[in-house]
Structure 1
Amino acid sequence: MPKLSVIIPCYFNEDNIPVTARELVANEANFHPEVTFEYVFVNDGSGDDTLGALQRAQTAYPSKIRIVDLAANVGSYNAIVAGMAHATGDCLAVITADMQDPPELMVQMYDYWKKGFKLVIGNRQDREETGLSRWFAQTFHWLMKRLALKNIPDGGFDFVFFDRQVNDEVVALQERNSNVFYLMVWLGFPYVNIPYVRRKREIGTSRWTLSKKIKLLIDSLLAFSYFPIRAISVVGLVLGGIALAYGLYIIALRLISPNEPAGWTTLMVVLLFVSAFQMVALGVIGEYVWRGLDAARERPLYVVREILN
């Protein structure tokens, strides 16, 4: 009998857990009776009573829920990798603890997996969220599709269903400062995507702050694209061409007229502009160097405090 492991990263989700566990277990009725289930909840160093809520849910569903309690907050994607490393299913899914993604979609995902697809993506065709969060998400995935992974679906995604082989490959990579969902696409297995509308969060407040979103954008872009480095080279060549042309212009003026042009304002503008570009270039290169150093240290992505079966 195929076993489905559902991985749910949790961070300050104390109020969500009872609803999430109940809806996930209720969703089992939509599957074929042959499927067995395992729910791997990963407590990502939450500062509230998320762990207590998970233990109460485990008491209510003792044969279904496993808890991976991390020693510290390591970020949603590292927490997902921790869940993947401790999941035992033949096929696996990742879903958020706030139930913004419809668990019933996993039934259709499972059917595609049975047909041989090793990766099934639930991509957000639209979202009920508004304001800055909606704009940032759209901009983020637009940039990634055009500058990094051109074969990712439109609208972004963090609701996936995948085969054990995909799981093992991603866990073996142990890649830092990356995007676990994009890594699944990067592996190269053919995938199918199912569009859906992401729900508005009803319980609790998102801890996905603007600073975390910006870090994710930088991490994802640098992990899957050489665009920043190449952009520096292109801008450097353009500035070099401008500098050469301006130098020839100054020489020509010097030869034509005995009075050398003052040029103080122009000189300062050029100097400040080039200096600013050099600082930006050093910052981008520093981001790559820091990531190389972080990988060379080979520190663990996460530390597990306790496994509760």
Structure 2
Amino acid sequence: MPKISLIIPCYFNESNIPVTGAELIANEARFPAEVNFEYVFIDDSSGDKTVEALHHLRSLYPDRVCVVELAGNVGAHNAVVAGLEHATGDCIAVLAADLQDPLSLLVEMYGYWRQGIRLVIGNRQDRPETGVQRFLAATFHWLMKRFALPNIPSGGFDFALFDRQVAVEVLKMQERNSNIFYLMLWLGYPYVSIPYVRRPRQLGHSRWTLAKRIKLFVDSFVSFSFLPIRLISTAGMLLGTLALLYGTYIIILRLLGSSEPTGWSSLMVVLLFVSAFQMLALGIIGEYVWRGLDAARNRPLYVVKEVAEPKPSTARSTTSADSL
């Protein structure tokens, strides 16, 4: 019998867990009766009562709920990697704990997987953010598609269902400071993209801060593109050419006996511009060097504090979702 593992990273989701658990159980009715489910919840060292809520959910459904507690906060993408390590399903899905991604889409995704498609993604056609956040997200996905991974769907994604073989290949890489979803695309498997509109969050507030968004952009772009290094090289050659031309101009003026151009202000502007470019270049190179150092140290992506694995069972639980 096919088994679906759903990986759900959690961070300050105390209020979401009861609602999410009820909807997950209710969603099972949309699938054929022979399909088994496993829910792998990863607590990314939340500071609220998320762990308690997860263990309560597991007490109601001990045959299918797995709770993995991480010792420290490592970020959503590393938490997903922890989930991949503990998932045992034939196919695996990743979704948010606040259920902004529609569960009803999983049935269609599962259907494509049964047809042999190893990667099925939910492609966001619209997002609840507005203003600056919306602009930054659009810019991020455009840059990634234009200069890093051309096969990325417009709008990006973090909702996917994929074959176990895809999970195995991603785990082999053990990449740090990367984007776990874009690694799946990088593998090269043909995929199906299903468009959907993401729902606004109903409970709690998002911990997805601007700083985390910027870090994800830098991690993703540096991991999949050499464009920043190439831009530094190009800018360096252009500045070098301009310096050579200006130096030649000064030498010619001296040979012809003409007075050399003077101007402290213009000289300082040039020095400040070149110095700023050098600092920016060092910063970009430092991002690449840091990632090389981080990989060389080979520290674990996460540390598991405790795991509560599901108890084996061949039948679906009869506990009502209303009991949550």
Using structure 1 for the length normalisation, give the TM-score.
Answer: 0.98
Matches within 5 A, 1:250-261: 250-261=250-261
Match of 2:203 in 1: 203
Match of 1:231 in 2: 231
Q: Percent identity?
A: 66
Q: Is the 8 A contact 1:9 1:97 kept in 2?
A: yes
For residue 244 of structure 1, what is the amino acid of its counterpart?
L
Match of 1:81 in 2: 81
For residue 129 of structure 2, what is the amino acid of its counterpart?
E
Name the CA distance, whole Å, in 2 between partners of 1:89 and 1:40.
10
Name the CA distance, whole Å, in 2 between partners of 1:136 and 1:97.
23
CA deviation string 1:85-125 (max 9, x = no partner): 00000000000001100011010000110111110010101
Q: After superposing the two structures, state which structure 1 stretch, 179-188 or 56-65, moved more.
A: 56-65
How far residue 196 of structure 1 moved from its aligned partner, in angstroms, is 0.3
How far residue 252 of structure 1 moved from its aligned partner, in angstroms, is 2.6
Match of 1:169 in 2: 169
For residue 149 of structure 1, what is the amino acid of its counterpart?
L
Tell me the SS of whatever aligns to 1:157: coil
Tell me the SS of whatever aligns to 1:158: coil
Name the CA distance, whole Å, in 2 between partners of 1:90 and 1:211.
36
Name the CA distance, whole Å, in 1 between partners of 2:259 and 2:239.
27
How far residue 223 of structure 1 moved from its aligned partner, in angstroms, is 0.3
Task: Verify: 1:190 aligned to 2:190, yes or no.
Answer: yes
How far residue 130 of structure 1 moved from its aligned partner, in angstroms, is 2.1
Task: Verify: 1:152 aligned to 2:162, yes or no.
Answer: no
Name the CA distance, whole Å, in 1 between partners of 2:68 and 2:40.
7
How far residue 133 of structure 1 moved from its aligned partner, in angstroms, is 2.5
Tell me the SS of whatever aligns to 2:56: helix
Q: After superposing the two structures, state which structure 1 stretch, 51-60 or 7-16, moved more.
A: 51-60
Match of 1:44 in 2: 44
For residue 161 of structure 2, what is the amino acid of its counterpart?
F
Q: Is the 8 A contact 1:84 1:171 kept in 2?
A: yes
Q: Is the 8 A contact 1:100 1:198 kept in 2?
A: yes
Match of 2:18 in 1: 18
Match of 1:66 in 2: 66
How far residue 260 of structure 1 moved from its aligned partner, in angstroms, is 2.4
For residue 127 of structure 1, what is the amino acid of its counterpart?
R
Match of 2:274 in 1: 274
Name the CA distance, whole Å, in 1 between partners of 2:147 and 2:199.
28
Q: Specify every segment of 5 or more residues in structure 2 that has no aligned partner in the other structure, as ranges.
A: 310-324
How far residue 264 of structure 1 moved from its aligned partner, in angstroms, is 2.6
Match of 1:118 in 2: 118
How far residue 62 of structure 1 moved from its aligned partner, in angstroms, is 1.9
Match of 2:133 in 1: 133
For residue 181 of structure 1, what is the amino acid of its counterpart?
F
Name the CA distance, whole Å, in 1 between partners of 2:254 and 2:265.
18
Tell me the SS of whatever aligns to 2:159: strand
Q: Is the 8 A contact 1:129 1:199 kept in 2?
A: no
Match of 1:297 in 2: 297
How far residue 245 of structure 1 moved from its aligned partner, in angstroms, is 1.6
How far residue 262 of structure 1 moved from its aligned partner, in angstroms, is 1.7
Task: Verify: 1:241 aligned to 2:241, yes or no.
Answer: yes
Name the CA distance, whole Å, in 1 between partners of 2:220 and 2:93.
21
Q: After superposing the two structures, state which structure 1 stretch, 167-176 or 224-233, moved more.
A: 167-176
Name the CA distance, whole Å, in 1 between partners of 2:265 and 2:248.
18
Q: After superposing the two structures, state which structure 1 stretch, 134-143 or 95-104, moved more.
A: 134-143
Match of 2:100 in 1: 100
* Structure 1 segments (4+ residues) deviating >4 Å: none
Aligned Cα RMSD in Å? 1.0
Instruction: Choose between structure 1 and 2 for higher RCO, CA contacts under 8 A separated by at least 6 residues.
Output: 2
Q: After superposing the two structures, state which structure 1 stretch, 161-170 or 123-132, moved more.
A: 123-132
How far residue 143 of structure 1 moved from its aligned partner, in angstroms, is 1.2
CA deviation string 1:10-63 (max 9, x = no partner): 000000000111111111111111211000000000000000000111112221
Q: Is the 8 A contact 1:2 1:90 kept in 2?
A: yes
Tell me the SS of whatever aligns to 2:203: coil
For residue 255 of structure 1, what is the amino acid of its counterpart?
L
Number of aligned pairs? Answer: 309
Name the CA distance, whole Å, in 2 between partners of 1:16 and 1:302.
24
Tell me the SS of whatever aligns to 1:156: coil
Match of 1:213 in 2: 213
Q: Specify every segment of 5 or more residues in structure 1 that has no aligned partner in the other structure, as ranges.
A: none
Name the CA distance, whole Å, in 1 between partners of 2:201 and 2:136.
17
Using structure 2 for the length normalisation, give the TM-score.
Answer: 0.93
Tell me the SS of whatever aligns to 1:288: helix
How far residue 263 of structure 1 moved from its aligned partner, in angstroms, is 3.5
